[in-house]
């Protein structure tokens, strides 16, 4: 039985609400919902993303794992898009001159799970992955 997809809710820390609000709205095209001076609800491609103010830590934690010869930040979050939306977001990111952590490329080309993927950081340093599967039904296949 295939379950109906439900939106996720994710709350992430940011050290500057105005800068990150602008990034998510103007670069990624997220629509703002409720907000206060310490948090902002955003429609992140149909999911509820909340940016919460948190002072930047004095010591930054950084970890990554090798994937396809690239260093993938852990933790990271993201969303699976259709190919057209993936291309649109990729172009928006380029137009706004946001640096790619990992530039768009195809993983598992010609194999089960073939997907386009890219990674960026928001202004607070949260890593975001966008991906699009050639065959969306292969999301969990191995």
Domains, the chain, with CATH or none: 9-54+66-138 (3.10.180.10)
Answer left, alpha or beta for residue 69, where phi above 0 means left and psi between -120 and 50 means alpha.
left
Specify the long-range contacts of residues 3-6, CB closer than 8 Å, at least 24 apart: none
Confidence at residue 13, expressed as pLDDT on a 0 to 100 scale: 96
Cα 42 to Cα 87: distance, rounded to the nearest angstrom: 21
- Name the one residue in this structure whose structure tokens are 């629509």: 31
Which parts of the chain have pLDDT scores under 70?
1-2, 59-61
Residue 77: φ, ψ to 5°: -135, 170
Confidence at residue 1, expressed as pLDDT on a 0 to 100 scale: 57
Confidence at residue 122, expressed as pLDDT on a 0 to 100 scale: 97
């Amino acid at each position: 039985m295939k379950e109906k997809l439900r939106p996720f809710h994710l709350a992430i820390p940011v050290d500057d609400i105005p800068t990150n609000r602008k990034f998510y709205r103007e670069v990624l095209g997220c629509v703002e919902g409720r907000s206060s001076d310490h948090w902002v609800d955003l429609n992140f491609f149909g999911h509820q993303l909340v940016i919460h103010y948190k002072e930047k830590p004095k010591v930054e934690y950084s970890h990554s794992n090798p994937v396809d010869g690239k260093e993938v930040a852990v933790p990271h979050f993201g969303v699976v898009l259709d190919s057209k939306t993936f291309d649109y977001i990729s172009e928006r990111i380029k137009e706004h001159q946001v640096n790619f952590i990992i530039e768009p490329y195809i993983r598992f080309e010609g194999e089960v799970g073939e997907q386009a993927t890219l990674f960026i950081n928001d202004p607070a340093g949260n890593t975001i992955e966008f991906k699009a599967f050639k065959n969306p039904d292969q999301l969990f296949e191995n």
